[in-house]
Amino acid sequence: QSALTQPASVSGSPGQSITISCTGTSSDVGSSRLVSWYQQYPGKAPKLMIYEVNKRPSGVSNRFSGSKSGNTASLTISGLQAEDEADYYCCSYASSRTYVFGTGSKVTVL
Amino acid sequence: QVQVVQSGAEVKKPGASVTVSCKTSEYTFTSYYIHWVRQAPGQGLQYMGIIDPRGGTTGYAQKFQGRVTMTRDTSTSTVYMDLRGLTSDDTAVYYCVTERPGSGGFDVWGQGTLVTVSS
């Protein structure tokens, strides 16, 4: 199972919106509603930001939203803030109860 | 209340095996799936596999099949991940994380266990 493809880096100015893509195949992203996104600060455990493509856990800012089209999922951060600077990973159900992560994207707030 | 606490750091020699434990609450053990994810230094997240603590059913990522075993102890609400044939490439922080069944979201993460493989 190959890792899902994400851009290595995405940047934006405070207040702007950015979108991180996550491209898989018809065997994972394209055929599953179980796509999730994680935020990770250096030296910390990841944090769930989006699950089931576009659902936000309690406590996650509504500036974070998820979507999916075909084999590509996307995470959009609106009203970018300095605290959003982190690494972001997508994840999708793959097969036989297992999942696959994306390659990760570093978000920089300019 | 969902909670997971992992065992401490390990240093192993190449070729050895390591066992990392993940102690949960009884509620977590009976209501959630447990997944294992690792992260090598400076690298991304890598999925390893899943165990359903209720029945012990497992699923392993292809990369780890034949080398990893996930088990559970119902008497202590603890899940274990055994990884055999260690190489330096297995040096990483290993996380256990919960999933509310069917949600696909890994919501409560352990604190991570650093496994260092070095001769």
pLDDT in tens, B37-88: 999 999 999 999 999 999 999 999 999 999 999 999 999 999 999 999 999 9
Q: Which residues of A touch B (CB under 8 A)?
A: 1, 3, 32-36, 38, 40, 45-48, 50-52, 55, 57, 87, 89, 91, 93, 96-104
Task: Report the greatest alpha carbon distance in chain B.
Answer: 42
| Chain B residue nearest residue A8, CA to CA | B44
Residue A41 banded pLDDT, cuts 50, 70, 90? very high
Contact (CB<8Å) B109/A45: yes
Predicted pLDDT of residue B1:
76
Contact B49 A98 (CB under 8 A): yes
Beta strands (DSSP E) in B7-119 are 10-12, 18-24, 33-39, 45-52, 57-60, 68-73, 78-83, 92-99, 106-109, 113-117
Give the model confidence (pLDDT) of A44-95 as tens digits: 999 999 999 999 999 999 999 999 999 999 999 999 999 999 999 999 999 9
Q: How is residue A32 written in tokens?
A: 């599953």
Which among A1, A35, A101 has the least Cβ separation from residue B44?
A101
Task: Find out whether A25 and A31 touch, Cβ atoms under 8 Å.
Answer: no
Instruction: Report the C-alpha gap between B28 and A41 in whole angstroms.
Output: 25
State how far residue A68 is from chain B, nearest Cα, in angstroms: 15
B33-44 pLDDT per residue, tens: 999 999 999 999
pLDDT surpasses 90 at B2: no
The alpha carbon of residue A10 and the mean position of all alpha carbons in its chain are separated, in whole angstroms, by 12
Q: Tell me the C-alpha distance between A50 and A19, whole Å.
A: 14
